[in-house]
Structure 1
Amino acid sequence: MNSITRRGALIAGALLPAAPALAQGEWPAKPVRIVVPFPPGGLVDLLARSVSQSLTTKFGHPFVVENRGGAGGNIGADVVAKAPPDGYTIMAGSLGPLAVNQYIYPSMPYDTNTAFAPIVLLATTPKVLCCANARPWQSVAALIAEAKARPGQLTAGSAGSGSSLHFALELFKEATGTNIQHVPYRGAAPAVTDLVAGNIDFVIDNVPNILAQIRGRSVRPLATPSTQRLAQLPDVPTMAEAGMPNFVFGTAFGMAAPAGTSPDICRRIAEAVTEALRDPTIGGRLTEIGAVLGGGTPDDFARAIAREKETLEPVIRRAGIRAD
């Protein structure tokens, strides 16, 4: 090859894309870990596992769910916060570790406001106010009247101090001007068990946690703090219909990555999750147990996190809520 031809070949080669660089930039090139910062069997675990197979199929590499529970989600969230921002470790969790735990824990292992890149809203779970069958109230108005007539004597259970059920109760107390005794349990299940037994007066629980007891008529649903009646509970009025137009509250779950993760990776995951949630098999199963399906963009989820902080921080401060 003469010098002119050789020089031309070198110039042409320089203008071509560098194949090794492209290969290094491809994502995913190996399995992706989805950390669920709660024990197996809960709703967020179900959500993560429901979309993981679709993500595996979509991207051609396994998306593996790993449960790392403890400290209200902070332990698992810290694993994600400190992981390399390369798209191979993401979190599926509630908005506790992403938004409000910073207000109820005396110290945090990461900076909530800077540690994560929001990806996508997975779902929200509407709540329902249920009273014990042993109580006479047939409406929210009757319950409120009783609470005002006997301040500090009615009891409401929650999944623990700083749980979303506790937040719902405090919002209800503020909205109604009532003094109701909070009874924290270690999880929603024992609270529901005591409600069925008549040991407490009512709970404001996530629909999936208590739907079986409602359908079995072992508790009495009075109203849902949702914008419209729920498909799973069509005969139960909303709080607005019950005379409380401004009481709307649910629990949100979503996915996030370590801060600094490529926006393109976050966007691709968000699009794939949205597509999975629209699948009739996946979406239908989640809807049946009481979830309101999410989806959307990383910016949409960022706004949901901001709303959670704005709504709950003043309530937590006024009520003096601290984690168990």
Structure 2
Amino acid sequence: MTHTLKLAFAVLLIALGPQAARAEPVADFPSRPIRFIAPIPAGGSTDVLTRDIARRLQERWGQPTLVENKPGGAGSMGAAMVARAPADGYTLLLVNVGHAINGHVYSKLAYDPVKDFTPVVHATTIAMGLFVNPSVPAKSLAEFMALARAKPGGFSFATSGNGGAGHLGGESFKAATGIDMVHVPYRGSAPAIADVVAGQVQVSFADVPLAAPHVKSGALRPLALAAPRRSPTLPDVPTFAESGVANQELSVWVGFLAPAGTPREIVDKLNREIVAIIREPAMTARLIGLGFEVVASSPDAFAQTIQTDYERFGVIVRSARIKAE
């Protein structure tokens, strides 16, 4: 290659950006370690899911696959790291439904939740529901609504924090029914549900895996699930729709994103591998045991889910004037 051609090629690489210099045939991917950024503390159910997938990818591909926990800012700190990462498929972000909420409840983010990422796979969904302390004299959602209407502001509902999925679920329920309840934000789901079990707060919007052990022990009473169908974990609990309150679906989806601009061939390869792992019988059984519903979607289907929820949550946040702490 002549000096002139070398110079022209270098100029072309600069014009195309760093992604061009990193391009590799999809057949060679991955040729080095992959990182999963989990913007949550270690040890929770979604962290376990990510580590299980990373372990199986490492076994299938023979490349180190690492999980790095980067909690903070309701997931926004880890998301910012991945948004700035090279768009080559070697850095992935674990996300849940809070990713579609953060853009509305935080006045400033270092990234755009939709434009700065490429969806890879919607892995699983976790159902959420309305749970009460057994001291509340309501055995159904209709009975609870009657009690709440008779005493406006007389009930408080605990959630994982301002702007979380539980908070949006409670505000959506209030708007749909005209019920007045007081929001009590906690720093995490575990302390919120613990205070409802202890009777310090009467009500909680919480996810099924967290609440189910307390339901089975009799420490919590489930009234309705914010899901399109009943949960295998709590099959006797009706949905909001079955209980006469429509449009209250607020399941917590869990999935993985790559930086925007990641080549579609790489995204599709990641999707195929992760979907195959999730659908392994042993993995499926493990996820169901943790309270997950297996989804294993295409990248395009996940993109539509994120966009739909981003727009829907924006309406709820603006209506209830929710701001993150």
Q: TM-score, normalised by structure 2?
A: 0.90
Contact map agreement 1:125 1:291 (CA 8 A) in 2: yes
Deviations 1:169-199 (A, max 9, x none): 1111111111110000111111111111111
Structure 1 counterpart of 2:19: none
Structure 1 residue runs without a partner (length 5+): 1-20
Partner Cα distance (2:201, 2:68) in 1: 35
Backbone CA RMSD of aligned residues:
1.6
Instruction: Give the deviation of 1:74 after TM superposition.
Output: 0.7
Q: Distance in 2 between matches of 1:41 and 1:112?
A: 25
Contact 1:214 / 1:220 at 8 angstroms: preserved in 2? yes
Q: 1:265 maps to what in 2? A: 266
C-alpha contact (below 8 Å) 1:124/1:251 kept by paired residues? yes
1:258 is displaced (CA, Å) by 0.8
Q: Which of the residues 54, 72, 75 maps onto 2:74?
A: 72
User: Is this contact kept in 1: 2:106–2:323, CA < 8 A?
Assistant: yes
**Kept in 2: contact 1:211–1:289 (CA 8 A):** no
Change (3 A) 1:219 1:24: closer
Equivalent position of 2:16 in the other structure: none
**CA distances 1:283-309 after superposition (whole Å, capped 9, x unpaired):** 111112211112121101101101111
The percentage of aligned residue pairs carrying the same residue is 36
Looking at structure 2, the residues matched to 203 and 22 of structure 1 have their Cα atoms a distance apart, in angstroms, of 49
1:238 paired residue number: 239
Q: In the alignment, is the contact (CA less than 8 A) between 1:94 and 1:251 conserved in 2?
A: yes
Is 1:304 the equivalent of 2:293? no
Q: Could you tell me how far apart the structure 2 residues matched to 1:93 and 1:175 are?
A: 28
Q: Provide the secondary structure at the position in 1 that maps to 2:213.
A: helix
**Deviation digits for residues 33-75 of structure 1 (CA, Å, limit 9, x no counterpart):** 0000111122321221121122112222122111001001111
Per-residue CA distance 1:99-158 (angstroms, 9 max, x = gap):
221111111111223211111001110012111011111111111111111111210000
Report if aligned partners of 2:35, 2:91 keep a CA contact under 8 Å in 1: yes
Cα distance in structure 1, aligned partners of 2:229 and 2:27:
45
Instruction: Tell me the distance in 2 between the aligned counterparts of 1:139 and 1:241.
Output: 11
Compare CA radii of gyration and give the structure with the larger one. 1
SS of residue paired to 1:161: coil
TM-score (norm 1): 0.90
Q: Distance in 1 between matches of 2:156 and 2:146?
A: 14
Q: Flag the 1:24–1:238 CA change in 2: closer, same or farther, 3 A.
A: closer
Query: How do 1:185-224 residues align onto structure 2 when only pairs under 5 Å count?
Result: 185-224=186-225
Write the letter of the residue equivalent to 2:144: L
C-alpha distance 26-177 of structure 1, shift in aligned 2 (>3 A): same
* C-alpha separation in 1, matches of 2:193 and 2:275: 32
Give how far 1:159 is off.
0.3
Structure 2 residues not aligned, in runs of 5+: 1-22
Alignment check: 8 A CA contact 1:271 1:296 kept = no
Match of residue 289 from structure 1: 290
Kindly tell me the number of residue pairs found equivalent between the two proteins.
303
Whole-angstrom distance in 1 between the partners of 2:89 and 2:248? 38
Partner of residue 144, structure 1: 145
